[in-house]
């Protein structure tokens, strides 16, 4: 791999991950400065030449919106600085929960953000565990859609839990849970929930048997942690031996820390696609830097990335 042909840069809040990726690639993180003005506006400047280079811009677009705006300005600046190709590395693709019209007169945020990135000038998107797989079709550029299962499954296997059972906190995650269960050769149960409104679960029921089982709840994101902690408590009430949870993206907003801390969960495992700034003793993060670094290497060497998928 010719390290002179590509460069890696990062936005403000994903620098911790970009530095890990560069360490895996034995590469220096590119020099990019973001200047903030008194009114909240900011400006992006590359402090070294990127002319004719393939640039990889690492930035998750989690709230607040400054993270997305930083990325858009990074793309625009790279295009105007004559980069050969612009590759957006977005471990957590924000706004992805708005993938369709769930009721009349609402926005489809995921499509809007895809349009913004495309118009800004990306040539490729590298992301992980989109909330809905079909969002890959929102882009007219190549999308490398990675799965956190590549690092989560070895973690679960190393726990060596007897009577293992995979569970999903809602029916929408049944496909993901099913692939985990098949790979681990263990049973799966579902939780069926109903909501009064966003981030508020009204009722939940278990579909399946968890008595005496060591349950692993599988999800893509945990926001306020209301659903996953309610599911964990319900599992224990129905006789589960233990309950753990794994999820790709660590949003953990509002009361999430307290809910996880006081729940029946033994531990809550995330990737580091989003920085965790809370103080819950049960939260643990596993880095995806190796997975992303290897994907960047394969893109640069025109190699297939399919062998990186365990399921």
193 is catalytic: yes
> Catalytic one among 103, 175, 193, 196?
193
φ, ψ for residue 219 (rounded to 5)?
Answer: -145, 170
Q: Residue 76: which of 50, 95, 102, 40 has the closest Cα?
A: 50
d(CA 154, CA 148): 11
**Distance, C-alpha 143 to centroid of its chain:** 15
In the three-class reduction of DSSP (H, G, I as helix; E, B as strand; rest coil), residue 220 is classed as strand
Tokens, residue 205: 């029921």
Token couple for 276:
């965790």
274, 298, 153, 145: CA torsion to nearest 10: 60
Reduced to 3 states (helix: H, G, I; strand: E, B; else coil), residue 89 is strand
Structure tokens at 121: 């000038």
Would you give the end-to-end CA distance of the chain in angstroms? Answer: 27
Pair of tokens at residue 46: 């590359």
State the catalytic residues: 193
């Amino acid at each position: 791999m010719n390290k002179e042909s590509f460069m890696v840069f990062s936005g403000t809040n994903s620098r911790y991950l970009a530095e890990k990726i560069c360490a895996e690639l034995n590469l220096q993180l590119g020099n990019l400065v973001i200047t903030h003005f008194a009114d909240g506006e900011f400006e992006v400047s590359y402090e070294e030449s990127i002319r004719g280079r393939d640039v990889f811009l690492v930035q998750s677009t989690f709230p607040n919106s400054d993270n997305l705006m930083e990325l858009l300005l990074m793309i625009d600046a790279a295009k105007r600085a004559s980069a050969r190709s612009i590759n957006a590395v977005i471990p957590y693709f924000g706004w992805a929960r708005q993938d369709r019209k769930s009721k009349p007169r609402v926005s489809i945020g995921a499509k809007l953000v895809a349009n913004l990135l495309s118009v800004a000038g990306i040539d490729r998107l590298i992301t992980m565990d989109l909330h809905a797989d079909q969002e890959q079709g929102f882009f007219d550029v190549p999308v490398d859609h990675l799965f956190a299962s590549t690092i989560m499954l070895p973690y679960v296997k190393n726990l060596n839990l007897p009577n293992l059972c995979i569970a999903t906190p809602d029916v929408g995650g049944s496909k993901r849970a099913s692939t985990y269960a098949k790979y681990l050769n263990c049973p799966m149960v579902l939780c069926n929930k109903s909501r009064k409104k966003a981030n508020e679960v009204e009722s939940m029921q278990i579909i399946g048997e968890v008595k005496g089982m060591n349950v692993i709840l599988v999800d893509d994101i945990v926001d306020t942690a209301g659903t996953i902690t309610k599911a964990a408590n319900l599992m224990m009430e129905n006789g589960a031996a233990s309950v753990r949870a794994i999820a790709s993206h660590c949003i953990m907003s509002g009361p999430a820390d307290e809910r996880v801390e006081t729940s029946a969960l033994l531990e809550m495992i995330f990737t580091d696609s989003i920085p965790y700034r809370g103080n819950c003793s049960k939260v643990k993060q596993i880095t995806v830097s190796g997975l992303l670094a290897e994907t960047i290497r394969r893109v640069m060497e025109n190699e297939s990335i399919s062998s990186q998928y365990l399921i």
